Protein backbone atom coordinates (compact mmCIF):
# COMPACT_ATOMS: atom_id res chain seq x y z
CA UNK A 1 0.00 0.00 0.00
CA UNK A 2 1.30 3.46 -0.90
CA UNK A 3 2.34 5.70 1.98
CA UNK A 4 0.06 8.28 0.34
CA UNK A 5 -3.08 6.16 0.82
CA UNK A 6 -5.58 8.00 3.10
CA UNK A 7 -3.29 10.98 3.69
CA UNK A 8 -5.31 14.20 3.90
CA UNK A 9 -3.78 16.75 1.54
CA UNK A 10 -4.77 20.39 1.10
CA UNK A 11 -3.70 21.77 -2.31
CA UNK A 12 -3.91 25.52 -2.97
CA UNK A 13 -4.02 26.64 -6.59
CA UNK A 14 -5.54 23.26 -7.53
CA UNK A 15 -7.54 24.62 -10.45
CA UNK A 16 -4.71 24.41 -13.02
CA UNK A 17 -1.11 23.55 -13.81
CA UNK A 18 1.05 22.03 -11.08
CA UNK A 19 -1.71 22.05 -8.44
CA UNK A 20 -4.13 20.19 -10.70
CA UNK A 21 -1.47 17.66 -11.77
CA UNK A 22 -0.52 17.07 -8.13
CA UNK A 23 -4.15 16.45 -7.22
CA UNK A 24 -4.43 13.84 -9.99
CA UNK A 25 -1.16 12.13 -9.01
CA UNK A 26 -2.03 11.94 -5.31
CA UNK A 27 -5.63 10.90 -6.00
CA UNK A 28 -4.38 7.95 -8.04
CA UNK A 29 -2.42 6.89 -4.93
CA UNK A 30 -5.48 7.06 -2.68
CA UNK A 31 -5.08 10.45 -0.99
CA UNK A 32 -7.96 12.38 0.52
CA UNK A 33 -7.83 15.79 -1.14
CA UNK A 34 -9.04 19.22 -0.12
CA UNK A 35 -8.85 21.28 -3.31
CA UNK A 36 -8.66 25.07 -3.13
CA UNK A 37 -8.58 27.92 -5.68
CA UNK A 38 -10.92 30.68 -6.85
CA UNK A 39 -12.42 29.04 -9.98
CA UNK A 40 -15.19 26.77 -8.76
CA UNK A 41 -16.02 25.11 -12.10
CA UNK A 42 -12.42 23.83 -12.37
CA UNK A 43 -12.45 22.54 -8.78
CA UNK A 44 -15.77 20.76 -9.31
CA UNK A 45 -14.44 18.96 -12.39
CA UNK A 46 -11.19 18.00 -10.63
CA UNK A 47 -13.08 16.70 -7.61
CA UNK A 48 -15.10 14.37 -9.84
CA UNK A 49 -11.98 13.17 -11.70
CA UNK A 50 -10.06 12.60 -8.46
CA UNK A 51 -12.84 10.46 -7.04
CA UNK A 52 -12.98 8.41 -10.24
CA UNK A 53 -9.25 7.66 -10.04
CA UNK A 54 -9.42 6.25 -6.52
CA UNK A 55 -9.00 9.21 -4.20
CA UNK A 56 -11.52 11.04 -2.07
CA UNK A 57 -11.88 14.75 -2.74
CA UNK A 58 -13.72 17.80 -1.53
CA UNK A 59 -13.19 21.39 -2.61
CA UNK A 60 -13.60 24.87 -1.17
CA UNK A 61 -13.43 28.10 -3.13
CA UNK A 62 -10.59 29.99 -1.43
CA UNK A 63 -8.61 33.13 -2.11
CA UNK A 64 -5.22 32.59 -0.45
CA UNK A 65 -4.79 36.33 0.08
CA UNK A 66 -7.57 36.19 2.67
CA UNK A 67 -6.34 35.04 6.06
CA UNK A 68 -9.92 34.34 7.09
CA UNK A 69 -10.61 32.14 4.04
CA UNK A 70 -7.40 30.19 4.65
CA UNK A 71 -8.44 29.54 8.26
CA UNK A 72 -11.86 28.42 6.99
CA UNK A 73 -10.17 26.09 4.50
CA UNK A 74 -8.15 24.35 7.22
CA UNK A 75 -11.26 24.10 9.42
CA UNK A 76 -13.17 22.57 6.49
CA UNK A 77 -10.43 19.96 5.97
CA UNK A 78 -10.58 19.02 9.66
CA UNK A 79 -14.39 18.88 9.56
CA UNK A 80 -14.39 16.59 6.51
CA UNK A 81 -11.37 14.36 7.22
CA UNK A 82 -10.44 15.01 10.92
CA UNK A 83 -6.75 15.69 10.24
CA UNK A 84 -4.40 17.46 7.83
CA UNK A 85 -1.35 15.41 6.83
CA UNK A 86 0.01 17.56 4.00
CA UNK A 87 -0.31 21.13 2.78
CA UNK A 88 0.78 21.75 -0.82
CA UNK A 89 1.27 25.52 -0.75
CA UNK A 90 1.13 25.97 -4.50
CA UNK A 91 -1.02 28.98 -5.50
CA UNK A 92 1.11 31.59 -7.23
CA UNK A 93 1.22 34.28 -9.91
CA UNK A 94 4.06 35.62 -12.07
CA UNK A 95 3.33 39.08 -13.53
CA UNK A 96 6.89 39.91 -14.55
CA UNK A 97 8.30 43.17 -15.98
CA UNK A 98 11.33 45.44 -15.56
CA UNK A 99 11.04 47.53 -12.40
CA UNK A 100 11.21 50.87 -14.26
CA UNK A 101 7.77 50.07 -15.69
CA UNK A 102 6.43 50.60 -12.15
CA UNK A 103 3.75 47.90 -12.22
CA UNK A 104 3.32 48.50 -8.52
CA UNK A 105 -0.16 46.97 -8.29
CA UNK A 106 1.28 43.73 -9.70
CA UNK A 107 4.11 43.84 -7.14
CA UNK A 108 1.44 44.06 -4.44
CA UNK A 109 -0.48 41.13 -5.94
CA UNK A 110 2.65 38.97 -6.11
CA UNK A 111 3.52 39.73 -2.51
CA UNK A 112 -0.08 39.01 -1.45
CA UNK A 113 -0.42 35.68 -3.28
CA UNK A 114 3.14 34.32 -3.37
CA UNK A 115 4.29 35.35 0.12
CA UNK A 116 1.31 36.25 2.30
CA UNK A 117 -0.79 33.42 0.84
CA UNK A 118 1.95 30.93 1.70
CA UNK A 119 2.24 32.33 5.24
CA UNK A 120 -1.54 32.35 5.84
CA UNK A 121 -1.76 28.71 4.75
CA UNK A 122 1.06 27.71 7.09
CA UNK A 123 -0.59 29.61 9.94
CA UNK A 124 -3.87 27.82 9.23
CA UNK A 125 -2.52 24.25 9.28
CA UNK A 126 0.36 24.41 11.76
CA UNK A 127 -1.65 24.28 15.03
CA UNK A 128 -3.41 20.98 14.20
CA UNK A 129 -0.21 19.46 12.77
CA UNK A 130 1.72 20.40 15.92
CA UNK A 131 -1.05 19.00 18.11
CA UNK A 132 -0.80 15.65 16.29
CA UNK A 133 3.01 15.86 16.12
CA UNK A 134 2.78 14.98 12.45
CA UNK A 135 2.57 16.87 9.18
CA UNK A 136 4.20 17.88 5.94
CA UNK A 137 4.30 21.36 4.41
CA UNK A 138 5.32 21.58 0.76
CA UNK A 139 6.00 25.08 -0.58
CA UNK A 140 6.30 25.90 -4.28
CA UNK A 141 9.28 28.18 -4.75
CA UNK A 142 11.01 28.18 -8.15
CA UNK A 143 14.41 28.29 -9.81
CA UNK A 144 13.52 31.99 -9.57
CA UNK A 145 14.05 31.45 -5.83
CA UNK A 146 17.67 30.48 -6.58
CA UNK A 147 18.59 32.74 -9.53
CA UNK A 148 17.75 36.36 -10.35
CA UNK A 149 17.25 37.60 -13.92
CA UNK A 150 16.17 40.94 -15.50
CA UNK A 151 12.39 41.32 -15.48
CA UNK A 152 11.97 38.76 -12.73
CA UNK A 153 13.13 40.96 -9.87
CA UNK A 154 9.94 41.08 -7.80
CA UNK A 155 8.83 37.54 -8.68
CA UNK A 156 12.30 36.27 -7.72
CA UNK A 157 12.00 38.25 -4.48
CA UNK A 158 8.78 36.42 -3.63
CA UNK A 159 10.27 33.03 -4.48
CA UNK A 160 13.47 33.72 -2.50
CA UNK A 161 11.09 34.54 0.37
CA UNK A 162 9.31 31.20 -0.03
CA UNK A 163 12.65 29.38 0.08
CA UNK A 164 13.63 31.27 3.26
CA UNK A 165 10.26 30.52 4.86
CA UNK A 166 10.61 26.81 4.01
CA UNK A 167 14.07 26.53 5.52
CA UNK A 168 13.26 28.60 8.62
CA UNK A 169 10.11 26.61 9.30
CA UNK A 170 12.00 23.35 8.79
CA UNK A 171 14.62 24.33 11.36
CA UNK A 172 12.02 25.52 13.87
CA UNK A 173 10.02 22.32 13.66
CA UNK A 174 13.18 20.18 13.76
CA UNK A 175 14.37 21.69 17.05
CA UNK A 176 10.82 21.56 18.43
CA UNK A 177 10.62 17.82 17.79
CA UNK A 178 7.16 18.06 16.21
CA UNK A 179 7.89 15.58 13.43
CA UNK A 180 6.68 18.11 10.83
CA UNK A 181 8.48 17.89 7.50
CA UNK A 182 9.04 20.82 5.13
CA UNK A 183 9.81 20.48 1.44
CA UNK A 184 10.76 23.38 -0.81
CA UNK A 185 10.04 22.59 -4.47
CA UNK A 186 11.75 24.68 -7.15
CA UNK A 187 10.54 23.98 -10.68
CA UNK A 188 12.09 25.36 -13.85
CA UNK A 189 9.91 26.01 -16.89
CA UNK A 190 6.67 24.01 -16.66
CA UNK A 191 3.70 24.19 -19.05
CA UNK A 192 0.77 25.81 -17.24
CA UNK A 193 -1.28 29.00 -17.22
CA UNK A 194 1.39 30.89 -15.25
CA UNK A 195 2.81 32.92 -18.17
CA UNK A 196 -0.72 34.25 -18.77
CA UNK A 197 -0.40 36.18 -15.47
CA UNK A 198 2.30 38.36 -17.06
CA UNK A 199 0.56 41.41 -18.55
CA UNK A 200 3.61 43.25 -19.95
CA UNK A 201 3.62 42.34 -23.67
CA UNK A 202 7.39 42.60 -24.14
CA UNK A 203 8.16 40.40 -21.12
CA UNK A 204 5.45 37.94 -22.09
CA UNK A 205 6.92 37.51 -25.58
CA UNK A 206 10.29 36.67 -24.02
CA UNK A 207 8.68 34.22 -21.59
CA UNK A 208 6.78 32.47 -24.39
CA UNK A 209 10.08 31.98 -26.20
CA UNK A 210 11.79 30.68 -23.03
CA UNK A 211 8.87 28.36 -22.24
CA UNK A 212 9.28 26.47 -25.53
CA UNK A 213 11.40 23.97 -23.56
CA UNK A 214 8.84 23.63 -20.74
CA UNK A 215 8.12 20.21 -19.25
CA UNK A 216 4.66 18.96 -18.28
CA UNK A 217 3.16 19.74 -14.86
CA UNK A 218 2.99 16.07 -13.96
CA UNK A 219 6.82 16.06 -13.73
CA UNK A 220 6.47 18.26 -10.66
CA UNK A 221 3.51 16.26 -9.37
CA UNK A 222 5.62 13.08 -9.39
CA UNK A 223 8.39 14.85 -7.43
CA UNK A 224 5.85 16.05 -4.86
CA UNK A 225 4.43 12.51 -4.55
CA UNK A 226 7.98 11.21 -3.99
CA UNK A 227 8.45 13.61 -1.07
CA UNK A 228 5.06 12.73 0.41
CA UNK A 229 5.56 8.98 0.21
CA UNK A 230 8.82 8.88 2.19
CA UNK A 231 8.70 7.34 5.68
CA UNK A 232 7.82 9.97 8.31
CA UNK A 233 11.40 10.19 9.62
CA UNK A 234 12.74 11.14 6.15
CA UNK A 235 12.42 14.75 5.05
CA UNK A 236 13.03 15.74 1.44
CA UNK A 237 13.93 19.39 2.03
CA UNK A 238 14.77 20.80 -1.38
CA UNK A 239 13.96 19.72 -4.93
CA UNK A 240 14.96 21.52 -8.13
CA UNK A 241 13.28 20.11 -11.25
CA UNK A 242 14.22 21.68 -14.59
CA UNK A 243 13.73 20.68 -18.20
CA UNK A 244 16.95 18.84 -19.08
CA UNK A 245 17.77 21.48 -21.69
CA UNK A 246 17.08 24.51 -19.47
CA UNK A 247 20.27 26.42 -18.66
The footprint of ligand NDP (CB under 6 A) covers 12-13, 15-19, 37-39, 42, 62-65, 90-94, 113, 140, 142, 187, 189-190, 192-194
Among the listed residues 59, 120, 155, 211, the single catalytic one is: 155
Per the annotation, the verdict on 155 as an active-site residue is yes
Cβ closest to ligand NDP, residue 5 vs residue 208: 208
Q: Which is nearer to ligand NDP, 135 or 145 (CB)?
A: 145
Residues with Cβ within 8 Å of residue 97, at least 6 apart in sequence: 103, 106, 151, 198, 199, 200, 202, 203
CB of 114 to ligand NDP, least distance (A): 6
39 vs 52 by CB, closer to ligand NDP: 39
Q: How far is the CB of 177 from ligand NDP (least distance, A)?
A: 30
Q: If you write DSSP's letter for every residue of the chain in order, what string do you get?
A: --TTTT-EEEEETTTSHHHHHHHHHHHHTT-EEEEEES-HHHHHHHHHHHHHTT-EEEEEE--TT-HHHHHHHHHHHHHHHS---EEEE---------GGG--HHHHHHHIIIIIIHHHHHHHHHHHHHHHHT-EEEEEE--GGGT---TT-HHHHHHHHHHHHHHHHHHHHHHHHT--EEEEEEEE-SB-SSGGGG---HHHHHHHHHHGGGPBPHHHHHHHHHHHHTS-TT----EEEE--TT--
Nearer to ligand NDP, 42 or 132 (CB): 42
Least Å distance, CB 36 to ligand NDP, is: 7
Nearer to ligand NDP, 156 or 180 (CB): 156
Q: Minimum Å distance from CB 191 to ligand NDP?
A: 7
CB of 16 to ligand NDP, least distance (A): 4
Which residues lie across from 32 on neighbouring strands?
Answer: 8, 56
Catalytic machinery residues: 155
Amino acid sequence: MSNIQDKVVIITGASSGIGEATAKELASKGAKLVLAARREDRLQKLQAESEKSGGKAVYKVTDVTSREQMEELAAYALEKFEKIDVLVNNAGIMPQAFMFKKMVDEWDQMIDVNIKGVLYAIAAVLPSMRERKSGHIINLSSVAGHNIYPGGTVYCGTKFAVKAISEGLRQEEAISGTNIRVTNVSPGAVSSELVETTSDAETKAGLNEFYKVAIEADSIARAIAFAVEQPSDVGINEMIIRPTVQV
